[in-house]
Structure 1
């Protein structure tokens, strides 16, 4: 089965979704957005929307259940990225950071550390606004993944 893109769509910025829509349509790659609230997606045979029930990690769990080795999971959720990598999928943040076996454990540890700080009352602030360089980094990483996918498909 060809590799697919799974999008943790609840928190994915609109501009990143647009990049995904264009890339999926351009390359004929199946992209599925998973969220617990309705959202519009373009009419395309390559773009799907899957609405799941509301609840903590329901969308994440559905992505993990459906993702397969070789797929790409787009998320800013570090635990979801780690689970996807454990299944043999790749994971990419909307800011263009490619998560891999070599860096995901460090990212999980940092996330847990920051969560502990916040729980103890330390104000850590949130992430900065998505910048133009973040968008470019995402588009570049997505393009690299799509290129590798096409090369792998052509080699078969």
Structure 2
């Protein structure tokens, strides 16, 4: 099996530094993908990919790049679903794993919220990222990479 790669939906990702720090500890390559509207600075040892401004460009680039065993980090349920279908691991910016067991429910909830907004109703956005969320993300990313290392996939 090829070595794992971390592919990040970099548009508005609040845990970029945490990803890079942990990935370096395990010598795992990182690819950050963002639209030109979310300019990414060049970072040593991190592949930075800028895609056009259309609404799904970053997601489509990632969906086409991801391979089985890779780790995709995103808040987008649709992208997570595509990554799961390719047998990739997926994590949210809060460290929550997207899996076959929970993705259908998350997609249904997203569709229901979109329907409510089309009806003129207000829906809540995501809550602010807390220090506890960052810690959970770091712990879960570290745990995933440790498990892959033990299986000699890193």
TM over 0.5: yes
Give the whole-Å Cα distance in 1 for the aligned partners of 2:48 and 2:123.
Answer: 34
Name the structure 2 match of 1:52: 51
Distance apart, 1:109 and its partner CA: 0.5
Considering fraction of residues, name the structure with more helix: 1
Q: What is the TM-score normalised by the length of structure 2?
A: 0.93
Name the structure 2 match of 1:142: 141
Distance apart, 1:53 and its partner CA: 1.6
- Match status 1:12 vs 2:13: yes
Structure with more relative contact order (C-alpha pairs < 8 Å, separation 6 or more)? 2
- Match status 1:73 vs 2:72: yes
After superposition, the CA RMSD in angstroms is: 1.4
- Match status 1:34 vs 2:53: no
Give the whole-Å Cα distance in 2 for the aligned partners of 1:148 and 1:84.
Answer: 19
- The aligned runs of 1:122-133 (5 Å cut-off) are 122-133=121-132
Q: Is the 8 A contact 1:75 1:94 kept in 2?
A: yes
Aligned length in residues: 151
Q: What is the TM-score normalised by the length of structure 1?
A: 0.92
Give the whole-Å Cα distance in 1 for the aligned partners of 2:12 and 2:142.
Answer: 21
Which residues of structure 2 form unaligned runs of 5+? none
